[in-house]
């Protein structure tokens, strides 16, 4: 075997040995409620993503952490299908409640609020958020 082939083979082994993993932390306090999809189907190296994980009904306080990863077995299946089928694992941890202290500063509008009232509320929330350095939740 030529040295360049050996280096290429070693590079392929090193790259394929790693598992893809990404974590998104929203800053909310995590709860014990977890939604997991171990074989979420994506296609063509992930160009066609898996279906959206519907969390609204199971996470009434929102989402705390979203993790996506390609485990060794997910990667093995992807390799066997020449990356046409590229499964991944998706794990969503629900939030236990608001932890940023913004609850007292929330803006709540009634359903019959006019467009002008909604626009004014959004403008005020943006200004307060910039001044206080924390999120302001606007509910319609």
* 110: pLDDT strictly greater than 80: no
Same-domain pairing of 59 and 123: no
Domain-located, residue 3: no
* 3: pLDDT strictly greater than 70: yes
Number of domains in the chain: 2
Question: The domain containing residue 132 runs over which residues?
Answer: 102-139
Domain-located, residue 78: yes
* 85: pLDDT strictly greater than 90: yes
Same-domain pairing of 89 and 20: yes
DSSP code per residue over 68-124? EE--HHHHHHHHHTTTSB--EEEEEEEEEE--SSGGGG-EE--TT--HHHHHHHHHH
Domain-located, residue 92: yes
pTM: predicted TM-score of the whole model, two decimal places = 0.57
Domain-located, residue 33: yes
At residue 102, the pLDDT reads 46
> Which strand (E) or helix (H) includes residue 139?
strand 138-139
Domain-located, residue 2: no
Same-domain pairing of 109 and 90: no
3-state secondary structure of 16: helix
| Degrees to nearest 5, angle at CA 62 with 101 and 25 | 80
Cα–Cα distance for residue pair 54/28, rounded to 1 Å? 18
At residue 101, the pLDDT reads 47
Confidence of residue 87 (pLDDT cuts 50, 70, 90): very high
Domain-located, residue 53: yes
């Amino acid at each position: 075997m030529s040295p360049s082939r050996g280096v290429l083979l070693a590079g392929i082994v090193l790259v394929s040995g790693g598992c893809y993993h990404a974590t998104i932390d929203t800053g909310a306090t995590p709860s014990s409620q977890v939604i997991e999809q171990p074989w979420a189907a994506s296609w063509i190296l992930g160009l066609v993503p898996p279906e959206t994980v519907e969390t609204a009904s199971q996470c009434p306080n929102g989402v705390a952490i979203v993790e996506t990863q390609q485990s060794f077995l997910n990667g093995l299946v992807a390799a066997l299908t020449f990356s046409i089928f590229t499964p991944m694992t998706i794990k969503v941890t629900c939030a236990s409640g608001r932890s940023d202290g913004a609850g007292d500063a929330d803006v709540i509008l009634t359903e019959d609020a006019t467009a002008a009232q909604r626009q004014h509320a959004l403008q005020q929330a943006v200004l307060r958020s910039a001044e206080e350095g924390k999120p302001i939740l606007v509910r319609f």
